[in-house]
Amino acid sequence: MFHATGWKVSYLLASENLLENFRNHQQYISYSSNSPCQYAIAKYLDVFDPVENQKMMQNKRDIFNELIQATPLVIEEISQGGFFRL
């Protein structure tokens, strides 16, 4: 619902023993959103309207269900929503 990718471009200068420790943690750090996005999302929650969001998401789902009918794919069941559509 809240899309905020992380900023994964960076560099680090450190001694070899410190770099080894950083490499152990890097895989977990890269899945975290950057601080400006976290603050922006927190501020957005002050005005976030779940009802309006639900309408928007349902509209996206309905558009998807309509457009996929024009593809050569065999549609066995119409999507009711969810992260993955097919």
40-51 pLDDT per residue, tens: 888 999 999 999
pTM: 0.53
Q: For residue 31, which of 62, 57, 7 has the smallest C-alpha distance?
A: 7
Q: For residue 12, which of 1, 23, 4, 3 has the smallest C-alpha distance?
A: 23
60-70 pLDDT per residue, tens: 888 988 998 89
